[in-house]
Structure 1
Amino acid sequence: MNTVRVLLSVAINFAWPLFQMDVKNAFLHGDLEEEVYMKLPPGHSQAGDKDMVCKLHKSIYGLKQSPRVWYAKLSSVLENVGFRRSNVDSSLFIRIGSTGKLVVLIYVDDLIVTGDNLPKIHSLKQYLRNKFALKDLGILKYFLGIELAHSSKGLFLNQRKYAFDLLQKAEMSACKPTRTPLDTNLKLDIQGEPLTNLSYYQRMVGKLIYLTITRPDISYAVSIVSQFMHSPTTTHLKIVHRILRYLKGSIGRGILMKKNNHTTIIGYTDADWVGNSIDRKSTTGFCTFVGGNLVNWKSKKQSVVARSSADAKYRAMASTACELIWLKGLLGDLGFSHTQPMSMFCDNQAAMHIASNHVFHERTKHIEVDCPYVRTQVQSNIIDTHYKRSYDQLADIFTKSLASIRFQRILDKLGSINPFDPA
């Protein structure tokens, strides 16, 4: 999904048209009119005999090897017309030539096609139509549960229908809405009555995880309830119901991507030191922007206990740095090179000094070996760290529960809006 959002951000910034297609390989589905035959597999006693083949009696569409066969077939067709696979995402294919850029993003048999040359896009569609049974769905409006609305203000992404169906399945369509997904005084606890219906809790949390694709406002809350998937209690179920009540009041919220005519990459990183009252582990939170549009965010509990706030936030910086480098590589594959350092904003000056200091001293020896990765990127002038006071730290929403006023303020700056909100 990261690739989808980055591709949408690039397309909206440069006014590229977005088309969706659904392709169907008759070989995989076994619906050709004539008989279909397969070559003998390698290692067969008669594999070298060209006259010996296997007759296909059943479609291999539902078998485990079918995704690999389909991907190999589709990628070979695209590579035959000059496309190359992205180095950072195997589902992204790019063709850059003298006539312009053409990009294809695949998800099984659903394709998103975009580029800066409309005749070349139509030519590609015709080429694929000759190879496969293709259904042209036109301008991109709905993809994997994500609804896209085009307007003069930009591109709006939301999962309104998905959230509405989730409330119906949870039988909470008529519940009373709340202004925030979590109580500001929430204290995690493993005590409580174990749930008898474990599958219900797991289904609801699983659906909420998928909803975070366009809902950064519930990422922290969902990361909390997902930590108790194997042994939830009634207390954890109440938190899930609180999230669902929040969704009831913000069912149409989504991300607005605007045309800002640039592809600058910046990131915000934060950590809540020993915020988990159960095991005293910290929570990493970050968000990244491409061209002024929010494209990625994350809220995750750290794997080790941090001995200081600088330690916790430095580990968060390491995770954010990896994401920034990945975004830079992805945009490089799309033909947008970045020579200027990428900005990373942090609200802890001690962590920033550790990232720029050449010498490890006694206070930083306990930090794991992989964390100096940040220092390497800073010294290589790939990433430039900047101080941002806690009040203006956008990643704060991914590390702790906030009061409604500050919660809404950060969401506005992230570009998360609710067009159905009367206010």
Structure 2
Amino acid sequence: MFSPLAMTKFIRIMLPIAAWYDYEIWQMDVKTAFLNDFIEEDIYMDQPEGFMVVGEEQKVCHLQRSIYGLKQASRSWNIHFDEVIWGYDFVKNDLDHCVYNKISRGSVVFLVLYVDDILLIGNNIKMLGDTKAWLSTQFSMKDLDEASYIIGIKIFRDRSKRILGMTQNSYVEKILKRYQACAGEAHWTAVKTILKYLRRTKDVFLVYGGGELILEGFSDANFQSDDDDAKSQLGFVFKLNGGVVVWKSSKQDTTAKSTTEVEYIAASEAAKKVVWIKNCIQELGVVLSIAESIIIFCDNNGAIPQAKELRSHHRSKYIFRRYHLHGEMLGRYDVRMD
């Protein structure tokens, strides 16, 4: 059994919005989170060493509450937290069940749960403070004030310029130390290039601010980049408030016959993702500009007209039907391609 986690890409979507509106970003930690709920299953365990009942050492314990180490522990904790937070009028996000929001007369508080880490994002300090105080009455909490680290990502802010930066410097350094400490010759040969890349880019930031609060996407493809099976590589990125929030790079699962086809397939994959991103932002309910057309930029003069006006000719008739989804989205979801 598993516990749902807030998606990292959803957090990356929320933080640029928070930077744009200059929202507060606070952080809390739930102490011994997995010990907070009762369990439904019948589970027995040996008496802990040093705490055995004299004369009844042969007996076992019947667990009443969740403990660390149980497969059910994380799931049980998530269900319990969901029930508790619902009682304080927070509403669960339909697209990410670990994101909650509470809106009252123009004030908004977003709560993001990642196992036992909590982010509180909002525009009303009193409302945020009340939420903190209420959480402390329900669980044993540690107040971490303004957020500085979340899921291994360090957050920097310049609120005077409404700029927010994120880096995984510490996480990358841990990876480098781990693999460099015990790597054999075979391991070193295999990952040498990757480790060099990590070392040279560990101080690179994702920076949000200085841009418009408008979602825009870019798609591209590398025609038949794999010499073994002649398949192409596709990629896309989406930017919000001047920084990248969602990206992907993967090998296409079909063999394309032309650059137009591979670019068209890449744009189709980007179009599918843009629908999810747009729905995420609309679900938050604070970004009015998301109602405007979303542009996906493509650098292929053959793919653009093909997407704008679906047609079949001898060069495009081999494209699978599922990739024509992009053309349908141009009308249904207000997506533009340039």
Q: TM-score range by the shorter chain?
A: 0.7 to 0.9
* Deviation (angstroms), 1:25: 5.5
* Deviation (angstroms), 1:135: 0.8
* Deviation (angstroms), 1:57: 6.2
- Listed as ranges, the gaps of 5+ residues in structure 1 are 31-35, 42-53, 173-194, 202-233, 387-423
Deviations 1:291-332 (A, max 9, x none): 222111111111111121111111111111112111111110
Residue type at the aligned position of 2:75? R
Which residue of 280, 299, 304 corresponds with 1:347? 299
* Deviation (angstroms), 1:287: 0.6
Aligned to 1:88: 95
Q: Is the 8 A contact 2:39 2:76 kept in 1?
A: no
Aligned to 2:309: 357
Q: Is the 8 A contact 1:21 1:137 kept in 2?
A: yes
Q: Give the structure-2-normalised TM-score.
A: 0.83
Inter-CA distance 39–196: structure 2 relative to 1 (3 Å threshold): closer
- Structure-2 separation of matches of 1:37 and 1:150: 40
- Structure-1 separation of matches of 2:125 and 2:91: 20
Which residue of 4, 15, 22 corresponds with 2:11? 4
* Deviation (angstroms), 1:167: 2.3
Aligned to 1:295: 245
Q: Is the 8 A contact 1:103 1:114 kept in 2?
A: yes
User: May I ask how many residue pairs the two structures share in their alignment?
Assistant: 308
| 1:284 is aligned to 2:234 | yes
Aligned to 2:213: 263
Which residue of 156, 159, 164 corresponds with 2:168? 159
Superposition pairs of residues 39-188 of structure 1, within 5 angstroms:
55-56=62-63, 59-151=66-158, 152-153=160-161, 154-171=163-180
Superposition pairs of residues 305-320 of structure 1, within 5 angstroms:
305-320=255-270
Residue type at the aligned position of 2:25? L
Inter-CA distance 84–197: structure 2 relative to 1 (3 Å threshold): farther
User: What is the root-mean-square deviation in Å for CA atoms of aligned residues?
Assistant: 2.5
Which residue of 219, 223, 241 corresponds with 2:192? 241
SS at match of 1:252: coil
| 1:322 is aligned to 2:272 | yes
- Structure-2 separation of matches of 1:72 and 1:59: 12
Inter-CA distance 297–40: structure 2 relative to 1 (3 Å threshold): closer
Higher mean displacement: 344-353 or 159-168: 159-168
Identity %: 28
- Listed as ranges, the gaps of 5+ residues in structure 2 are 1-7, 43-60
Aligned to 1:331: 281
Inter-CA distance 89–37: structure 2 relative to 1 (3 Å threshold): closer
- Structure-2 separation of matches of 1:68 and 1:58: 13
Inter-CA distance 72–58: structure 2 relative to 1 (3 Å threshold): closer
* Deviation (angstroms), 1:22: 0.8
SS at match of 2:311: coil
- Structure-2 separation of matches of 1:37 and 1:383: 48
Q: Give the structure-1-normalised TM-score.
A: 0.68
* Deviation (angstroms), 1:165: 2.3
Inter-CA distance 120–310: structure 2 relative to 1 (3 Å threshold): same
- Structure-1 separation of matches of 2:21 and 2:198: 33
- Structure-1 separation of matches of 2:154 and 2:38: 40
Aligned to 1:29: 35
Residue type at the aligned position of 1:245? K
SS at match of 1:81: coil
Deviations 1:50-91 (A, max 9, x none): xxxx94267433222222211111112222222222122222
* Deviation (angstroms), 1:279: 1.5
Aligned to 1:272: 222
- Structure-1 separation of matches of 2:292 and 2:301: 22
Deviations 1:315-361 (A, max 9, x none): 11111111211111111011124222101100012111111114333
SS at match of 1:103: strand
* Deviation (angstroms), 1:21: 0.9
